[in-house]
A and B are shown apart, each in its own frame.
Chain A
Amino acid sequence: MEPLVLGIESTCDETGVALVRGTELLADVTASSMDEHARFGGIVPEVASRAHLQAFLPTLTAALDKAGATLDDVDAVAVATGPGLVGSLTVGTAAAKALAVALGKPLYGVNHVIGHAVVDELVHGEFPERTMALVVSGGHTSLLLFEDSGATVTELGHTLDDAAGEAFDKVGRLLGLPYPGGPHVDRLAREGNPQAIPFPRALTAPKDMAKHRYDFSFSGLKTAVARWIEAREDAGEEIPVADVCASFADAVADVLSAKTIAACAEHGVTTLVVGGGFSANSQLRDLIAARGEAAGLDVRIPPLRFCTDNGAMIAALGSKVARTGVEASRLDVGVDSSMSLTSVTA
């Protein structure tokens, strides 16, 4: 039988524990300190770290109960050792090591962002030989090429400034929407006209494409939105909030999907995975599905509960590396807040 892998996620404000055997998810439990941060308008690292310490054992117990398993059944422990907030990563990593020591089982320190893509194996099965993945969230915007059935990962591009979800939150703030603003912008965008305002598409001009073919940039777009709103306000005009949201969201989805689909064609890849919390964004989902289909791609977007930060993504990646015989991490492995996306394991 394939090994039972326990996965621990603690890179930001979610404490997640999940159990995976092969590509089958047996349990996935998440505790979040999100509500404690809302009044500060952003994640407070120390508040998140304190919450991880409180939440870890209850989350572990709940996950084991749900899977009908005990710790003695666990064959390997996987934990996200980066990228993320140092204080948060430290709690989960220390807990994972304690389990590995107590159980005498191997430890796999794995990459959180790569987990956002590999979690799709729990839904749509193992990756083919070559797979493209776009990972988009409030913290990440990366285009990853998986080769050798996922054993080798190359980061083709990433955002040079804000992540896509972060840009949404900032535009939400510009429009006076509650924190986090992203989901509100997405909701309002569905009521507006995406063609109303021609916001810029960064890094798509020929001179930028030469150097940043698969990179993204959203801070200029956010500034363009701010300028456009200011100009209307100065003129004493009302702000068409839904049209601003729709046009902004369209600019983001257009660039993300265009570059991703071009990357698939240029690398001869026919399977595309979209992961990360921002894959909930409706314009992005619709546009990437439509353009992907037109380009003959198999577009895999896992259900939303797999896209936010959770233990399932870490257990899925842990299970993948354990199955493929990757060497376990050393017990003195450290956390890495800016872990390279070419490192699947630590």
Chain B
Amino acid sequence: MILALDTSAAISAAAVADDGTVLAAEAFDAPRSHAELLAPMVQRIVEAAGERPEAIVVGTGPAPFTGLRVGLVTAATLGHAWGVEVHGVCSLDGIGLRHADATVVTDARRHEVYWARYEGGRRVEGPAVDRPHDVPIPGGVVGAGVSLYPDAFDGEAAALAAADLVAVWRRDSAEGIADFPLEPLYLRRPDVHGAPRP
């Protein structure tokens, strides 16, 4: 069983069997509750799957900052404690996988979107962050950006299913890619305004 987690937008987790069957999956669209909801969700999913995972796949964003780190630190820590490998996959790839030729657009806040372009379910451009009207869209558009910026995008507001990150990882590793870094895809530099030292 492979455990998949993603906190780049909604909080989602899934347990995926070796044959690709989804044994258990949950998702909550609660953008500010990642830290509260993910751990109990993981506990339920692992319990429902009835076995400890052989590996963990985690979405590395791009995403606004705080929520993304919840998924990454949770996956890294679970992997360390269980002694299993943890693989990072760009969260947009999980959406792009299901769409032959499309630009995936998700919420980057501050009137911007994260985007990447896919051909045959594989990323050919991005990920990047831009204003909605600056995103190149040669074909279809999918992702949360569609409902947020209907002026800029015409398409389907599809959300990520965590299990699809496992499919991306399986496909890419079968093709010989060995490196799935856990580096968060922030794409933006930190805002710099200091606070007093406690």
Contact = CB atoms under 8 A, between A and B. Distances in A.
Contacts of A339: none
A12 B197 contact: yes
B110 interface: no
A49 B77 contact: no
Interface string B58-85: 0000000110011011111110111000
A179 to B, nearest CB: 9
Contacts of B192: 40, 44, 47
Contacts of A93: 35
Nearest to B75: A98
B78 A102 contact: yes
A61 B80 CA distance: 10
A101 B37 contact: no
Contact of A94 (B43, B74, B193): B74
B70 A94 contact: yes
Interface in A70-104: 71, 84-87, 90-91, 93-95, 97-103
B81 A99 contact: yes
Contacts of A165: 197
B74 A43 contact: no
Contacts of B195: 42-45, 85
Given A44-B194, A332-B36, A101 B42 contact: yes
B4 to A, nearest CB: 15
Contacts of B37: 332
Contacts of A226: none
A303 to B, nearest CB: 19
Interface string A304-346: 0000010000000000000000000001111100000000000
A60 B197 contact: no
Contacts, number: 139
A163 B196 contact: yes
Contact of B35 (A11, A37, A90): A90
A86 B35 CA distance: 10
A19 to B, nearest CB: 15
Contact of A102 (B77, B184, B193): B77
B40 interface: yes
A21 to B, nearest CB: 20
**Residue from B191, B192, B194 with most neighbouring chain A CB atoms (10 Å):** B194
B77 A138 contact: no
14 contacts: A44-B190, A49-B69, A52-B69, A57-B76, A71-B80, A91-B73, A94-B39, A94-B74, A98-B42, A98-B81, A162-B196, A309-B198, A332-B37, A332-B39
Q: Ordered nearest first, which 10 A-B pairs have the shortest CB separation? A: A42-B194, A139-B198, A46-B190, A102-B81, A97-B39, A98-B77, A138-B197, A94-B70, A98-B74, A331-B40
Interface of B: 33-40, 42-43, 46, 65-66, 69-70, 72-78, 80-82, 184, 186, 190-198
Given A56-B77, A138-B198, 12 more contacts: A40-B194, A49-B66, A53-B72, A56-B73, A57-B76, A94-B38, A98-B74, A98-B81, A101-B78, A137-B197, A169-B197, A333-B36
